[in-house]
Amino acid sequence: MTLINVRITCAALLLCSGFAVSNDDAFEIETLADGLDHPWAVTFISDNEMLVTELSGNLRRVSNGVLNSTPIAGVPEVLFAGQGGLSEVILDPSFADNGLLYLSFSAPAVDQPKLNQLNVIQARLEGNRLVNHKTIFKSDPPRKTAAHYGARLAFLADGTLLITSGDGFNYREQAQALDNHFGKILRLNTDGSIPQDNPFTKTPDALPEIWSYGHRNLQGLVITDDGTVYEHEHGPQGGDELNRVLPGKNYGWPAITYGVDYSGAMISPFTKQPGMEQPLKYWDPSIAPSGMIVYRGDMFPQWQGNLLISALVPGDVRRLEIQDDKSIKEEILFIEFGRIRNIVSAPDGSLILVTDGEDGKLIRVSAKRSVQEGPVSDIAASL
C-alpha cells in the first residue's frame, strides 16, 4: 500500500469512526524550518524568536523564520538513545527579567554510567550561550532502559514547577509506590527545594516531591487559566489517557488500565478500583499523544480554551472541548504531516507543529488571510 493510500485509508477510517475532520482550506500552511534532528520541544523567547530542542542534544534558535546554524552553547551532554535525549525547554515565568530557562534530558548516572536518569536543570540564556547551570532534579533510582521518561515541564500559577517522570517501561509496578520517581508528577521550587504544601510531605516513607502517581509515560502537561492541570500519557495498546490531575491522587497505572500490552498480553483485568482516578478520556485505538496546549490565541477565537493535542499515530492534532470533566467534542486536524511531536502557539495565535524524526520540521498553521480581519500582522509575516 502506498503512503498516499495509507493516509486516505486513515482519513476514511477516522470519518467512519464519527470524528469530525477539519477542512484544510481554512488554513495557511508554511514550513518555517526543516532538517531538525528529532525536534522535541519549542518555546518562544520573543515575538519572533524561538528555541527548539533536538532530542540528539542540541538547543537551536530560530529567528525571524531562519534556523541559526550554530546551536546554543553550554547545553549539557545528554544520552541520546531510544526515547532519551534533550527533551523539554520552558522559560521561567520571569524570563523577560532574569533570562532563566529549564531543560529536561536523560544522562548517564554519574557513578553508574550504564544506568541513566532524567535530569532537570535551570540555566540562564546569555546571547547564544547557557550559563549558571543548576541541577534541580535527577530521577531516582537510575534506570537501565532508555524509554518512558515523561520529561514534560510546566509551571503552576504559584511559581512551582511540575515535572513528569515516566515509568521507565520496565519498572511499571514502581508507579504505585511512593518511594521512587517512576510514573510520577513531581512538584519543586525552581531552586530544587520541595514546597512544604506538597501532598506527601507528612506521609512516612513517601518522597515529599511527589505530587501525583500511578502514571505511565506522560507526554503532555498543561495548566488552564483557572488552575486545572491536565496531563496525557502513552498507555499500553488502546489505553492512552487524558487525565485531570489533582495533588495526591493515584492515576492507577498499572493496576487499572483500558489497554493491553502491545504483545496482546493482559496487564490488568481491572479498569476501575477504589482510590484510583479514572481518565477523563482514553483513546482506543491509541494515538500516541505527544504535546498539548491550552489554546489562548486570537487567531482562532473559536478555539479559545480548547485543548490542542499533537499525536504521533497516525499523526494529527486533536482539538478537544472539555466541559464538566468530560470531553464533549473531539475534532481531528492536520492529518497531512505524519507524526507530530509537539504543538505550540505563537504569540500571534498561529500554531507551530513540530514533525517527528531525523528531518523534523516546524510548520506554521495560520488562518487564511482572506478570512482574517485586516492585513496579516508584521509579527506573523516575520515568522
Q: Which residues participate in catalysis according to the annotation?
A: 148
Nearer to Ca ion, 143 or 215 (CB): 215
Q: Which among 53-61, 202-210, 245-253, 351-359 is the span making contact with Ca ion, rule CB under 5 A?
A: 245-253
Residue with smallest beta-carbon separation from Ca ion: 252
Nearer to Ca ion, 142 or 168 (CB): 168
Amino acid at 196: Q
The CB-of-145 to Ca ion minimum distance in angstroms stands at 20
Per rule CB under 5 A, count of chain residues that contact Ca ion: 2
**Looking at 169, 171, 251, 258, which residue binds Ca ion (CB under 5 A)?**
251
Give the residue among 232, 246, 251, 220 at the shortest CA–CA distance from 151: 220
Q: Which is nearer to Ca ion, 139 or 212 (CB)?
A: 212
Query: Segment contacting Ca ion (CB under 5 A): 34-42, 95-103, 243-251, 286-294?
Result: 243-251
Q: Taking Cα atoms as reference points, which of 241, 337, 355, 353 lies closest to residue 289?
A: 241
| Of the candidates 8, 140, 5, 32, the residue with the CA atom closest to the CA atom of residue 366 | 32
Q: Between residues 84 and 279, which has the closer beta carbon with respect to Ca ion? A: 279
Cβ atoms of 234 and 205 within 8 Å: the answer is no
**In terms of Cα–Cα distance, which of 171, 169, 181 is closest to 206?**
181
CB of 268 to Ca ion, least distance (A): 10
Residue pair 47/379 in contact (Cβ under 8 Å)? The answer is yes
**C-beta of residue 261 within 8 angstroms of C-beta of residue 314:** no
* Distance of closest approach, residue 223 Cβ to Ca ion, in angstroms: 19
- Tell whether residue 252 is a contact of Ca ion (CB under 5 A): yes
The span of 21-29, 157-165, 252-260, 350-358 binding Ca ion (CB under 5 A) equals 252-260
Which class for 111: exposed (0-12), middle (13-18), buried (19 or more C-beta within 10 A)?
exposed
Which residues are at the interface with Ca ion (CB under 5 A)? 251-252
